[in-house]
């Protein structure tokens, strides 16, 4: 059955990597009808708004989107598109699958984990103010509703993907109220999933363990701030931002995107690596139950990554964005 997907190519390298990714996904046989919308700098130029209402309407209608990177203008008074999308669609779960790929250089092997980050509250709720002129205060908001929701998401994901263990990260030994509540919610939700092992770790020790033996972790669930930091730490463990897919899942939709930025330094030069966005597209295909097509693309990526003349310069190769996409398509045939 045809699935409609909202495509936001973004700006900078966004349009070139999006076009590469769409060509690969279409060639995989996944029956997708793309609804394409501008957002970011391109939309400011065309409509005077970085996030036109029709983008949000399309995402609400289709429930699934794929997004390229978007430049956040500094100090120009425009709202951040990424924050705007997250709020409009209540994208409460940020998901990062982290897996070693044999062909991508990393100091580790055997990593296969998912970081589930709460995306709506904590110190990122935006409640901040100056106290006089020499002190500042940021309020850390943790609610039972959001904590239980994200923990339940982590356990459901573990079940769906056949994973064995959920680890909750927190600092409840010091932040007894806020992180204490998060931990209480994680423990309560864990009881509903006797088939999945549960443990909790204090976040500083968790960081140390992740660097020492990342292969021991399976699903890690965290409040927003720790989740932000640990998901980039996790990307570093498997070879960097260029190979880490991202997904934001919510009540009204799911938005898949690479986690790197718009790379203005190489935009328009056919040099950008499409892999992170393609891996995000593969996560999207799995979400849409196009499992066969997702597997087909992954197998082709693994073949192409062994061929230096078929991959982009950041991966040590000599090919352009388009040529890398063409090689992946060829490897699928």
Instruction: CB nearer to ligand NAI: give 172 or 244.
Output: 244
Task: Give the burial class of 212: count Cβ atoms within 10 A of its Cβ; 0-12 exposed, 13-18 middle, 19 or more buried.
Answer: exposed
- H or E element: which one contains 94? strand 93-99
Cβ neighbours of 33 (radius 10 Å):
9
- Rounded to a whole number of angstroms, the minimum distance from the CB of residue 173 to ligand NAI is 32
DSSP string covering 273-303, please? --HHHHHHHHHHHHHTT-HHHHHHHHHHHHH
- Rounded to a whole number of angstroms, the minimum distance from the CB of residue 161 to ligand NAI is 24
- Rounded to a whole number of angstroms, the minimum distance from the CB of residue 277 to ligand NAI is 7
What's the CA gap between 100 and 106, in Å, rounded?
8
Retrieve residue 163's tokens.
């994973």
Instruction: CB nearer to ligand NAI: give 79 or 164.
Output: 79
- Rounded to a whole number of angstroms, the minimum distance from the CB of residue 85 to ligand NAI is 10
- Rounded to a whole number of angstroms, the minimum distance from the CB of residue 109 to ligand NAI is 24
What's the CA gap between 213 and 111, in Å, rounded?
9
Q: Which residue number places its CB atom closest to ligand NAI?
A: 261
Closest to 235 in 3D by CA, of 113, 120, 153, 150:
113
- Rounded to a whole number of angstroms, the minimum distance from the CB of residue 148 to ligand NAI is 27
- Rounded to a whole number of angstroms, the minimum distance from the CB of residue 230 to ligand NAI is 17
Instruction: CB nearer to ligand NAI: give 163 or 260.
Output: 260
Instruction: CB nearer to ligand NAI: give 264 or 316.
Output: 264
Instruction: CB nearer to ligand NAI: give 270 or 307.
Output: 270
Identify whether the C-beta of residue 310 lies closer than 8 Å to the C-beta of residue 327: yes
Cβ neighbours of 139 (radius 10 Å):
12
Instruction: CB nearer to ligand NAI: give 29 or 313.
Output: 313
Identify whether the C-beta of residue 85 lies closer than 8 Å to the C-beta of residue 56: yes
Instruction: CB nearer to ligand NAI: give 156 or 232.
Output: 232
What's the CA gap between 169 and 202, in Å, rounded?
6
Closest to 53 in 3D by CA, of 85, 78, 77, 82:
85
β-strands 3-8, 64-67: how paired? parallel
Binding-site ranges for ligand NAI (CB under 6 A): 13, 69-72, 82, 242, 257, 260-266, 272-273, 276, 314
Give residues with Cβ within 8 angstroms of 26, minimum separation 6.
32
What's the CA gap between 256 and 7, in Å, rounded?
10
Instruction: CB nearer to ligand NAI: give 91 or 276.
Output: 276
Instruction: CB nearer to ligand NAI: give 9 or 170.
Output: 9
- Rounded to a whole number of angstroms, the minimum distance from the CB of residue 115 to ligand NAI is 16
- Rounded to a whole number of angstroms, the minimum distance from the CB of residue 259 to ligand NAI is 6
């Amino acid at each position: 059955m045809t699935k409609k997907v909202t495509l936001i190519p973004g700006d900078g390298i966004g349009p070139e990597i999006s076009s590469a990714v769409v060509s690969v996904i279409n060639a995989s046989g996944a029956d997708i009808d793309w609804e394409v919308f501008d957002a970011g700098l391109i939309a400011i130029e065309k409509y005077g708004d970085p996030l036109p209402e029709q983008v949000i309407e399309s995402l609400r209608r289709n429930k699934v989107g794929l997004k390229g990177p978007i430049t956040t203008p500094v100090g120009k008074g425009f709202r951040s598109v990424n924050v705007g999308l997250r709020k409009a669609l209540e994208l409460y779960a940020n998901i990062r699958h982290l897996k070693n790929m044999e062909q991508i250089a990393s100091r580790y092997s055997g990593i296969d984990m998912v970081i589930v980050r709460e995306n709506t509250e904590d110190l990122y709720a935006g409640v901040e103010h100056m106290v006089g002129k020499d002190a500042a205060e940021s309020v850390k908001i943790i609610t039972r509703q959001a904590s239980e929701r994200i923990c339940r998401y982590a356990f459901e994901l573990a079940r769906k993907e056949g994973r064995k263990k959920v680890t909750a990260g927190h600092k409840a030994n010091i932040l007894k109220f806020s992180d204490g509540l998060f931990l209480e919610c994680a423990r309560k939700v864990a009881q509903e999933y006797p088939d999945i092992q549960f443990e909790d770790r204090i976040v500083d020790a968790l960081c140390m363990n992740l660097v020492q033996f990342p292969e021991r972790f399976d699903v890690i669930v965290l409040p927003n701030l720790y989740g932000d930091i640990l998901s980039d730490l996790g990307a570093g463990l498997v070879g960097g931002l260029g190979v880490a897919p991202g997904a934001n899942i919510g009540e009204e939709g799911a938005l898949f995107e690479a986690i790197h930025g718009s790379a203005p330094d190489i935009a328009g030069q056919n040099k950008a690596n499409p892999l992170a966005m393609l891996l995000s597209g593969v996560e999207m295909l799995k979400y849409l139950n196009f499992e066969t097509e997702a597997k087909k693309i992954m197998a082709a990526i693994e073949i192409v990554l062994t061929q230096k003349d078929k991959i982009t310069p950041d991966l040590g190769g000599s090919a352009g964005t388009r040529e890398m996409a063409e090689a992946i398509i060829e490897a699928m045939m």
